[in-house]
Structure 1
Amino acid sequence: MSTREIPLFIDGPDGPLEALHLDTPDAVGVALICHPHPLFAGTMQNKVVATLQRIARDSGYATLRFNFRGVGQSSGTYADGRGEIDDALAIARWLGDKHPGLPLTLMGFSFGSCVAGNAAARLEGQGIALRHLFMLAPPVERFEVDLPRQCPITVVQPEDDEVVTPARVYAWSDSLTLPHELLRVPECSHFFHGKLIELKDLLQPRLAPAGVAG
């Protein structure tokens, strides 16, 4: 089985979006991965995003990571998160057409986690069932997040995060009235330096379909 992602462009609301797609034979699901903040060098090549892609790939998922508008070769300009949510929704629609019948999982890191959360809520509102939402180091102190109500939610927060304030994420988690899990990663910085293997060990069992060992 080839593990090589195929570069392509997908029509977005503000022009073509640059993406990398892995079409896994007999996939158990599809993972859509959102990258960190476009104004702070965030791209789909970010090492945490690349790690999420590999974790999903190794768990049997077809995957897609992409550059938000204005990043890399994607058209458009940064749109304060609102436009980036629309970008993610356009990618999700493309994935739904490409992989009909496969459940969708959304994964995001930093800014991308807030985009993924809001996109998941909108997709659920459109009647699209989701398998899981993963939010890594979400900057909830700077971005409002609406969350889906029906799919499992996993929040992963580095305890030594120098970009996102961990206490704000913990307080936000405590304030949520919907079921979710919060995983704290000790001695871990925002970019998961030296902790990517631990991240894989946390996420892989949660990516396994129900009834399948991780």
Structure 2
Amino acid sequence: MPEVIFPGPDGRLEGRYHPQPKRDAPIAVVLHPHPQFGGTMNNKVVYNLHYAFYNMGFSVLRFNFRGVGRSQGEYDQGIGELSDAAAALDYLQTMNQNARHCWVAGFSFGAWIGMQLLMRRPDITGFVSVSPPANMYDFSFLAPCPASGLVINGTADRIAPPRDTEVLVGKLHEQKGITITHTQIEGADHFFKDEEAHMAPMLDHVSEYVKRRLTEATR
């Protein structure tokens, strides 16, 4: 997978870009967890989401937020990181100008950033939020949520408790015109550490959901 360096708002950003041969392939950007708690683009959930989207025919980009790995800049409380995500999407769209579908996927802190990016960019047609930290961050900006998507979390998540995720999904369900699909993986922790029992089912649910949405969009 080619390493890429692309311009961000606070210096260069380091990423991994996996293009498809089809010029009109859908695109997806994948966002990693909190930079100050060891989050990088090589996080296992992020890495696996990247390949799940690639295997579904997407051209995919994951990258390091500012101050992580070879990305320049310093952690900026989520404000700068949102700008980084917008720059990553700009880069991905520049490389794929014929793409008809644009998705954002994020894990934990990355899910929070991804949902904010969704509000800024009407060109995003779907989202996947894995383990969104609804107990730590305010998601009230999703009013209304502009696109349908999947929220997925583990029932044994102690970092972002399931109850808070359920409250978030409940608020999103009240909005007209969008459909939020909520899936919980029984026994999974925040990181889906058990490959067979938790990570694999999570990825299966993501793939099934995204494939269904793409099929519906072509009807």
On whether the aligned pair clears a TM of 0.5, the verdict is yes
* Residue of 102, 105, 118 corresponding to 1:104: 102
Which residue matches 1:170? 166
Which residue matches 2:83? 86
Separation in structure 2 between the aligned mates of residue 108 and residue 40 of structure 1, nearest angstrom: 16
Q: Which moved more, 1:23-32 or 1:55-64?
A: 23-32
* Residue of 16, 35, 51 corresponding to 2:12: 16
Q: Which moved more, 1:142-151 or 1:42-51?
A: 142-151
Separation in structure 2 between the aligned mates of residue 172 and residue 53 of structure 1, nearest angstrom: 25
* Residue of 102, 121, 138 corresponding to 1:144: 138
Q: Is the 8 Å Cα contact of residues 119 and 146 (structure 2) preserved in structure 1?
A: no
Give the total of aligned pairs. Answer: 205
The residue matched to 1:134 in structure 2 has which SS? Answer: strand
Which residue matches 1:48? 45
Aligned pair 1:184/2:184, yes or no? yes
Q: Is the 8 Å Cα contact of residues 13 and 70 (structure 2) preserved in structure 1?
A: yes
Separation in structure 2 between the aligned mates of residue 28 and residue 162 of structure 1, nearest angstrom: 37
Task: Specify the code of the residue in structure 2 equivalent to 1:96.
Answer: Q
Separation in structure 1 between the aligned mates of residue 145 and residue 36 of structure 2, nearest angstrom: 30
Unaligned runs of 5+ in 1: none
Separation in structure 2 between the aligned mates of residue 32 and residue 170 of structure 1, nearest angstrom: 25
Q: Shift of residue 54 of structure 1? A: 1.0
Q: Is the 8 Å Cα contact of residues 118 and 146 (structure 2) preserved in structure 1?
A: no
Deviation per residue, 1:119-144 (Å, 9 max, x gap) = 111012xxx2x221100000122122
Which residue matches 1:36? 33
Separation in structure 2 between the aligned mates of residue 119 and residue 150 of structure 1, nearest angstrom: 11
Q: Shift of residue 211 of structure 1? A: 4.6
Which residue matches 2:113? 115
Unaligned runs of 5+ in 2: none
Which residue matches 1:202? 205
Separation in structure 1 between the aligned mates of residue 44 and residue 187 of structure 2, nearest angstrom: 18
Q: Shift of residue 97 of structure 1? A: 1.1
Q: Which runs of 4+ in 1 moved over 4 A?
A: none
RMSD across aligned positions (CA): 1.6
Separation in structure 1 between the aligned mates of residue 146 and residue 36 of structure 2, nearest angstrom: 32
Task: Specify the code of the residue in structure 1 equivalent to 2:109.
Answer: F
Separation in structure 1 between the aligned mates of residue 203 and residue 70 of structure 2, nearest angstrom: 29
Q: Shift of residue 165 of structure 1? A: 1.4
TM-score, reference length from structure 2:
0.89
Aligned pair 1:134/2:128, yes or no? yes
Separation in structure 1 between the aligned mates of residue 26 and residue 188 of structure 2, nearest angstrom: 29
The residue matched to 1:162 in structure 2 has which SS? Answer: coil
The residue matched to 2:110 in structure 1 has which SS? Answer: helix
